[in-house]
Amino acid sequence: MQNEMLASIYQLAHQDTRVVFIGSDLKPETLEEMKKNFSDRFFMEGISEANTIGMAAGLASDGFIPFVNGIAAFMTRRCFEQIALDVCLHNLPVRILGNGGGLSYSVLGPTHMGVEDISILRTLPNMTILVPTNSFEMKELIKQSTNWLGPIYIRISKEINSSYYPSGVQPKIGEAVVFQEPAGPVDVLIVSTGYMTAKCSHAIKQLNQDCIFISHLHFHTIEPFDSKVFFRMASKAKSVLVVEENSVIGGLGSLVLEILSNSSINLNRVKVLGIPKKFLSNYGSHDEQLMDVGLDVNRIASEIKNLCL
């Protein structure tokens, strides 16, 4: 997804002279063409994430749209104050692209896992949070980002086959994507984001006839939350299952619970599957890490089944 993201920024830089790229010590071949063709709008900074955010805010305050790219965990944990004060307080159009969102940097350990980026940034006024499920969606959202006011964080995760994505859908910032919505009441509304949307789609297929009254809603935009579609679908469901590759504290699950606490919708259960509050000490593949925290297809399918009973 990272290469597709960089290509999208280069394409935007062709079309819009406000687009500036700021990297934080990324690989040498990053956007070589942009560096060559738009050298005054390409900055590869050192290992100085906080400075990249302040610098982006300064550029944005004078009319540019800076895309700042670095590792999700560093860009959010380390730069929180710069993001809060330099970017969000001034409501500037800085775009922060966090590589390795979720557990995708599985072999690098807890220092590099972006497991609470969404939670951290959700606390900030003015911040739009995008968690695309695949490259197609990511490219579409980046394309629209130059017309979006205020700051945006985009979580970049692993590249996956997008066969599960509904055909004909044109993702739009701020609008949830309906993956599945049967007519009439459902047992479970599945709410998911990012890579977990793919996992949920596979889990639903796996369930087959065991549990057929299911709806599935995907949020590539977590903030601002598309409450209109959510309420429409939640009001027809007995239970809601939220699945996210983020800490169970402060992410999409928390957001759903916050929204529901202010509504009159009656649900039997709301269940959140996410990453527990602990430092993960194992290595291995992304999927092995997901299995460790119960975010694999089998576990998701079994949770859906439990809620269908």
Partner 1 sequence: MSQLSHRINSQEGLIPLDGQSKYIRTLILRALRGGNLGHAGSALSLVEILRVLFENVLKFDSKNPNWPDRDRLILSKGHGCLALYAILAHFDFFPKSDLDRFCHHNSPLGGHPNHEKIKGVDFSTGSLGHGLSVAVGMALAAKIQKRSSKVFVIMGDGELGEGSVWEAALSAAHHKLNNLIALVDCNKYQAAGQTQQILNLEPLSEKWHAFGFDVFESNGHDISELKKVISQAVIESKKPKMIICHTVKGKGIPEVEQSRGSHFFYSFSPEQHKAFTEMLEKY
Sequence-distant (6+) residues with CB within 8 A of 4 are 135, 138, 139, 159
CA-wise closest residue to 31 among 15, 45, 42: 42
- Angle 161-165-169 from CA coordinates, rounded to 5°: 135
> CB-wise, 68 or 300, nearer to partner 1?
68
Of positions 26, 30, 35, 90, contacts partner 1 by CB under 8 A: 90
To partner 1, the closest distance from the beta carbon of 108 in angstroms equals 23
> CB-wise, 90 or 202, nearer to partner 1?
90
Dihedral sign, Cα of residue 113, residue 245, residue 164, residue 205: positive
Please, which of residues 214-253 interact with partner 1 by CB under 8 A?
Answer: none
Stretch that binds partner 1, among 84-92, 125-133, 197-205, 215-223 (CB under 8 A): 84-92
Please tell me whether residue 12 binds partner 1 under the rule CB under 8 A: no
Binding mask 23-62 for partner 1 (x = CB under 8 A): -----------------xx-x-xx-x-xx-xxxxxxxxxx
To partner 1, the closest distance from the beta carbon of 306 in angstroms equals 47
Q: How far apart are CA 247 and CA 138, in angstroms?
A: 22
Say whether 159 sits in a helix, a strand or coil. coil
To partner 1, the closest distance from the beta carbon of 73 in angstroms equals 18
CA-wise closest residue to 241 among 165, 295, 160: 295
Sequence-distant (6+) residues with CB within 8 A of 237 are 185, 186, 187, 188, 189, 215, 267
Sequence-distant (6+) residues with CB within 8 A of 231 are 263, 265
Binders of partner 1: how many residues, by CB under 8 A? 28
Please tell me whether residue 83 binds partner 1 under the rule CB under 8 A: no
To partner 1, the closest distance from the beta carbon of 41 in angstroms equals 7
Which residues in this chain contact partner 1 in the complex, by CB under 8 A? 20, 40-41, 43, 45-46, 48, 50-51, 53-64, 66, 81-82, 85-86, 89-90
